[in-house]
Amino acid sequence: MNPDYVADLRRGIASGEVRPYFQPLVELRTGQLSGFEVLARWKHPLRGMVPPDEFIQVAEDSACLGQLTTSVLLQAFAAMQPLSEHLRLSINVSAVQLRDHALQRLIALAAEQTRFGLERLTVEITESALVGNVEHARSVTEELKARGVRLALDDFGTGYSSLRHLHALPFDEIKVDQSFVQTMQMRRESRKIVAAIVGLGQSLGLQTAAEGVESQAQADMLQWLGCDLGQGWLYGRPMPVGKLAEYVQDAKPSITGDGRQLPAPEEAAFPLEALPSQRLSQLQAIYDGAPVGLCFVDRNMRYVSVNKRLAEMNHAPIVAHLGRTVEEMIPNFYPQLEPFLRRALQGEAFSGLEVQADTRDGKMHIRSTSYQPTRDEGGEIVGVSVAVLDVTERETTQEALKESEDHHRFAVALNPHVYWTADEHGAVLEAGPRWTELTGMSADEARGWGWAAALHPDDLQRITPEWESSLSSGSPLDVEYRIRLVDGSWRWMRARATARRNQQGRVFRWYGVLDDIQEHKEAMERVHRSQTLLEGVIQSVPVGMVVVEAPSGRLVMRNAQAASILDCYHIPDGLRLGQAEWLCFYDAQGKQLQRDQYPLQRTINSGEPCEDQSLQYLRPDGRVIWLTVSARPLRDAAGQMIGAVATLRDVDQEMCAARRLQGQAEHTVPMTKSAAV
């Protein structure tokens, strides 16, 4: 240790050159300022700004750390005086400070002198400070906790046995180290680590904070992963005391779109229900583009995610929803929605339930709502996905319903599909002019059950029970049948219908559409015919043949020859190459091949053919045979690889066959390869 440096540091501390800088911590969900972390800076008269990594270590070693901490804390606490009481402060403490009780006294004294409430304070402890120091740290932190101070585990994930440390002290918060945050867009592993840390925090009921957030994309991802707080250059660099007031003034206050101040959610300190991150990103993609209002609410009926359309309908920005209950956001609708939300949380699904109420724009709105329970991997219900359509324009009264049917009818006339409506008993009310065009039946003739006369008798018999079952259960209808056209020919149609329900959940209308699927059917038949042909060809070639899809590697076809060579006759449906554990190949030297060295797999991975590879294959019956394997990619018209085909030839078998053909034994083919096995 350089004694001049130590003396200089002591002088610096005494003359107030070591100052607290403040870096904002922001609630990711709402963008609201949560507080600041204090980072020490030494503004040296000659050397300029000295970073803490350099002088904190010196202070530790030279026993002036207490002096430094006191000075920084006094300045920091005093700086918080004029600011809102909701803003918190986090400070860093060193390993040596966790060894004696001076720290606790020093914090309490500084707080008293500046009248700073210790319940606003969070003490950050790095993992490395805990190594070999857990017992002392426990007794020091217990006293702090008794005074209302929160504890955060800093740089989580970078040290040894993070989990053990998390368990050792009563932490309230975990700070995800910036090294993970900054690489999580490029590296899947980092993303997984962040997701795992956040998940861990959630399941232990701890708040999670991410350090080093530099871009909005990182912030978005962290929010989707369920992280609570963000800190980093995106929100602000560490700033001196003089900049604090201005920063706080400009920081985003908690307001909804209409400027109304919402009370902070009661349990704001508790993180939302954990959800698999993958599902969240899927939801996100669907949500963003949907023209219907969509949201996901957790078991406490709090919004976990909301799309743009629903936010518009509710006249509040997306972030104003997150973490708040449905009741808080749409109190007028809530009494009508509540029973269905509760039942959906018990596992029931509902669709097309209509509710009506005044919204924030002061107008009465009718909404058609659907509820789908969502389960986690374990089958437990984690919440409900809700879809909302505003149908106010379509119907304000029973009369408007009629109008909407007129509208429906109008749309029908312009559309090649046949639209139809039926009452709750299945009697057709209207079949659309195109039905008349196709079948020659008048609109009157088609009503009720009249339409059935146009159906092929075989099909009518087949679909009637399906229609009846939909009528009694309210589940959607989807059937195919032939109808007789004006010219006497038959044409395949596909009929689909969904039920419309009233507030009590009772079906009162069926809305159907009929599509002409004749050409589709014919095309399918052509495909089927050529597939049969192709299969015929594959089965008749004298070599083994295996066809797989790309990139999945799913087995599509294999001929009898391949089955006999590989000694494998039953391949389960949907099997992928990678899952076929009994497939065991060795190279010419007898070394077992890795799965990605198998010819078909190589072709799928590279898109390149793989010619005449000599391999040994261990058959399930225990025999080892020599194979010549070739694989080629299969491409569609656009050149995209859609699969790969492999040919397998059993070398020994072919040699024997060749010998038999020659009908003589004088010319013995060398069997070196077989002998080598």
Among left, alpha and beta (phi > 0; psi -120 to 50; other), residue 558 is: beta
Which residue number, 51 or 331, has a Cβ lying nearer to ligand C2E? 51
Task: Scan for tokens 């898109």, then name that residue.
Answer: 607
- Interaction between residue 23 and ligand C2E (CB under 6 A): yes
Distance CA 499, CA 350 (A): 11
- Interaction between residue 50 and ligand C2E (CB under 6 A): no
Binding-site partner at residue 277 among Ca ion, ligand C2E, none, CB < 5 to 8 Å by type: none
- Interaction between residue 232 and ligand C2E (CB under 6 A): yes
Distance CA 380, CA 245 (A): 47
| Segment lying near ligand C2E (by CB under 6 A), choices 165-173, 206-214, 254-262, 308-316 | 206-214
Which residue number, 177 or 328, has a Cβ lying nearer to ligand C2E? 177
Distance CA 524, CA 526 (A): 5
Residue 502 CB, shortest distance to ligand C2E, in Å, is: 55
Here the tokens at position 449 are: 């059950």
Residue of 27, 37, 211, 395 marked catalytic: 211
Here the tokens at position 324 are: 């708040």
Which residue number, 37 or 549, has a Cβ lying nearer to Ca ion? 37
Cα maximum dimension of the chain: 110
Here the tokens at position 529 are: 């015919």
Which of 501, 496, 527 shows the shortest CA–CA distance to 512?
Answer: 496
271 SS3 class: coil
| Segment lying near ligand C2E (by CB under 6 A), choices 205-213, 293-301, 353-361, 406-414 | 205-213
Handedness of CA 67, 72, 75, 78 (dihedral sign): negative
Residue 39 CB, shortest distance to ligand C2E, in Å, is: 4
Radius of gyration of the chain (CA): 36
**Residue number of the CB atom closest to ligand C2E:** 232
**Residue number of the CB atom closest to Ca ion:** 124
Number of residues interacting with Ca ion: please give it, by CB under 5 A.
Answer: 5
Helix (H) or strand (E) holding 586: strand 585-586
Site residues (CB under 5 A) for Ca ion, limited to 195-254: 211
Distance CA 592, CA 586 (A): 4
Give the CA dihedral 601, 605, 606, 610, nearest 10 degrees. Answer: 0
Which residue number, 52 or 271, has a Cβ lying nearer to ligand C2E? 52
Active site residue 211: yes
Residues written for the chain: 677
Binding-site partner at residue 72 among ligand C2E, Ca ion, none, CB < 5 to 8 Å by type: ligand C2E
Contact 603, 631 (CB under 8 A): yes
Binding-site partner at residue 17 among Ca ion, ligand C2E, none, CB < 5 to 8 Å by type: none
Residue 585 CB, shortest distance to ligand C2E, in Å, is: 49
Quick one: which of 8, 27, 124, 354 contacts Ca ion (CB under 5 A)?
124
- Interaction between residue 352 and ligand C2E (CB under 6 A): no
Contact 315, 333 (CB under 8 A): no
Distance CA 594, CA 610 (A): 16
- Interaction between residue 56 and ligand C2E (CB under 6 A): yes
Strand-strand pairing, 428-430 and 477-484: unpaired
Residue 91 CB, shortest distance to Ca ion, in Å, is: 8
- Interaction between residue 238 and ligand C2E (CB under 6 A): yes
Residue 181 CB, shortest distance to ligand C2E, in Å, is: 8
Residues that bind Ca ion (CB under 5 A): 92, 124, 154-155, 211
Residues that bind ligand C2E (CB under 6 A): 23, 39-40, 51-53, 56, 72, 92-94, 124, 126, 154-155, 178, 211-214, 232-233, 238
Catalytic residue positions?
Answer: 211
